[in-house]
Amino acid sequence: MTGRAAGVLTACGAAAAAAALALLPRATDNQAVLDWAFLVYLYAALAQSWNLLGGFAGQVNLGLAAFFGLGALVTRTLWLGGMPPAEALALGTAAATVTGVIIGAPCLRLRGPYFAIGTLAVAEILRITVGNALPNVSSLPARMLATYRLAPRYELALGLLAAVTAASWWLTRSRFGCGLTAIREDEGVAEAIGVHAFRHKFAAFILSALFAGAAGGVYGFYQLSFYPSSAFGPLWTFDPLLIVYLGGVGTVLGPLAGAAFFLLLREALSLRLGDFYLLVFGILFLVVVIAVPGGFMEAIRALGRRPEERTTP
């Protein structure tokens, strides 16, 4: 089978799977099932948005929560103010994207740990600022609570996941994606062979901010009440990062597998250990990075190889 034919079959399979998942709200009215599936889609989409920059380009962005929080805050504020949901989500996503353009240019002049620390600082500044400016709980009014339904939010999260996964799939097969991979492996060599590193990283940064902002907007529709500053919390950066490493950095399906495993394990551990589950996740992260640096997808590929191939250096 040619690579093109395999790609077409993969795309058809993904479309069929998405169509089947879209029918889940019609197959069950179990709110617990729909709620868990929604969170898997949301976390997978956010992890995939981190993967666009951190996985494919090798730029460790620790400020993803800034874009997620902006998307949530702007979308929810406009929606509660009377704007139609689609327009509110579009403007919330645009706000996160424009912020990505503004901070991406200076931050990407930094390299390695300096870039990671710089993006983390931006997210923390926004979290503290929003916490001081908007200290009150954002709750849905009674008229919106009366019409609140989980199914439309489920479909919105699934659509977002399909879009960001399609973008990741395109990156693995495009010339632009090859340029990002070259930068990840060795930026100096990539520049020497004609890849404009800054332009590639900047475009990936903006794309990542766009999808993170969209994920935040979906989260803003989902929550019945929350503190605005909580959407800027560091866990909205570090949970997606952990999910990507669990599933497989720089892979298309890794964030999906990682999100499902992450949420199942978090639910089980939080019920038994309370806040101590965070310690377990920290240890798990270290084990995965050391023992299986390629995550679940690499482990699956290794199992699929013949025994002699597994031992080949």
Helix, coil or strand: residue 226: strand
Q: How many domains would you assign to the chain?
A: 1
Query: What pLDDT band is residue 306 in, cutting at 50, 70 and 90?
Result: low
pLDDT digits (tens, 9 = 90+) for 84-143: 999 999 999 999 999 999 999 999 999 889 999 999 999 999 999 999 999 999 899 988
Average pLDDT of the segment spanning 160-187: 93
Q: Which residues of 258-296 are buried (b: 16+ CB within 10 A; e: fewer)?
A: bbbbbbeebeebeeeeeeebeeebeebeeebeeebebbb
Inform me whether the pLDDT recorded for 195 exceeds 60. Answer: yes
Q: Which residue range is the domain that position 225 belongs to?
A: 11-233
- Percent of the chain surpassing pLDDT 70: 89
Which pLDDT score is estimated for 313? 43
Domain-embedded: residue 149? yes
Residue 215 lies in a domain: yes
Residue 61 predicted with pLDDT over 50: yes
Residue 40 lies in a domain: yes
Predicted confidence band at 197 (pLDDT cuts at 50, 70, 90)?
very high
The confidence score (pLDDT) of residue 17 equals: 76
The string of pLDDT tens digits covering residues 66-83 is: 999 999 999 999 999 999
Exposed / middle / buried, residue 299 (Cβ in 10 Å: 0-12, 13-18, 19+): middle
274 domain residue, yes or no: no
Task: Return the structure tokens found at 69.
Answer: 């929080």
d(CA 251, CA 298): 9
Say how far apart CA 53 and CA 98 lie, in whole Å. Answer: 17
Closest listed residue to residue 263, CA positions, set 114, 42, 73: 42
Residue 311 has what pLDDT? 46
Contact yes or no for 46/213 (Cβ under 8 A): no
- The confidence score (pLDDT) of residue 312 equals 44
Q: Does residue 175 fall inside a structural domain?
A: yes
- CA pair distance 277, 285, nearest whole angstrom: 12
Global pTM reads: 0.90
Convert the pLDDT of each residue in 258-290 to its tens digit: 999 989 888 887 777 777 777 877 787 787 777
Count of CB atoms within 10 A of residue 82's CB? 7
Using DSSP's 3-state secondary structure scheme, residue 138 falls into strand
Q: Does residue 81 sit within a domain?
A: yes
- Cα 45 to Cα 215: distance, rounded to the nearest angstrom: 7
Residue 257 in domain? no
Q: What is the pLDDT of residues 206-249, one digit of tens each?
A: 999 999 999 999 999 999 999 999 999 999 999 999 999 889 89
Tell me how far apart the alpha carbons of residues 29 and 295 are, in angstroms, rounded to a whole number: 34
Is position 75 within any domain? yes
**Cβ neighbour number for residue 71 with a 10 Å cutoff:** 32
